[in-house]
Amino acid sequence: MREICLDTETTGLKPQEGHRVIEIGAVELVNHIPTGRIYHVYINPERDVPAEAVKVHGITEEFLADKPKFAEIAQEFLDFIGDAPLVIHNAEFDRGFLNWELGMLNMPQIPQERCIDTLMIARRKFPMAQNSLDALCRRFGIDNSHRTLHGALLDAEILAEVYLELIGGRQIGLSLVAEDAAASAPAAAGASAASSAPRRRQRPAPLPPRLTEEDIRRHAAFVETLGDDAMWKKYGV
């Protein structure tokens, strides 16, 4: 299953007031595991970037002056996200801006039902608690110390970690996918079936035996009562 964790930065809060998208960051997940594929672009909004917005994300009008306009990146953005569900924190904000931009170009828009809103998930799981991205990082022990300013790609990467915790934790998914991938990987040319099988991790030291000498003695005495045809005797157990 393919999903896209997505975030945007903008010049303001409402596209209806002329504000525009200036950065898109997206991270691909397959079976809840980041694949390493990302989409990241800065966008020239063709307008000024208010000082209040710069304080949030640090992206200035001067920096964006030579960046592509949204019309120039719209198709490659749509190609990257494909038809995958979009995981977004406070989805209506980002979806609203992206649909405004796409609508101006008469391009396909993002329906609400396609979005997985992690803010809504967090509010259901932790009612009455703070559920900002930073608050969820603190709750789940996710290191976001490098997040001094908002940034679309950085926030999408952090969101991927938060999302995996919200749906049940990272370790379970990592284990299952790793085993599935190993089991389905084709054997190298000339390799034996045994060499292509998934390797099981070994303990650095075996666990100590739990049976006592008395347990072993009693088991042997019990087996003797079963007669010569007992399965225990046939297999030398």
Instruction: Count the neighbouring beta carbons within 10 Å of the beta carbon of residue 25.
Output: 22
Q: Could you say which DSSP state residue 44 is in?
A: B
Give catalytic status of residue 150 as yes or no: yes
From 32, 57, 89, 150, the catalytic residue: 150
| Residue type at 72 in one-letter notation | E
In 44-161 the beta strands, taken as DSSP E runs, fall at 86-88, 115-117
Complete edge-to-edge strand list for the sheet that includes strand 86-88: 33-42, 21-30, 2-10, 86-88, 115-117
Query: Burial letters for 213-236: b for 16+ Cβ neighbours within 10 Å, e otherwise?
Result: eeeeeeeeeeeeeeeeeeeeeeee
The DSSP element (H or E) to which 41 belongs, if any, is: strand 33-42
Q: Which of the residues are catalytic?
A: 150
